[in-house]
Amino acid sequence: MLCTICPNFLIVKVSASGVVLTFALGLLGVYLTLPDSDYSFRKFPRTLEDLHILRTLWVS
């Protein structure tokens, strides 16, 4: 019944799957080739005093 509506249904399905697969492989390639992240410059506040200093710097 489905083949009478769209005789090229298999071709359309394979083409759409190929597009999705190509997109996913492209994203995976970008992810794998990203440089290593350097988070050494980030310092998180460890005390309430540090938070207070950050708050006063942010407000002004």
Q: Alpha carbon 11 to chain centroid distance?
A: 30
Domain ranges of the chain: 9-59
Q: Which residues contact 45 (CB under 8 A, 6 or more apart)?
A: 51, 53, 54
Q: What is the mean pLDDT of the chain?
A: 85
pLDDT of residue 44: 82
Band of pLDDT at residue 2, cut at 50, 70 and 90: low
pLDDT single digits (tens) 27-49:
999 999 999 888 777 778 889 99
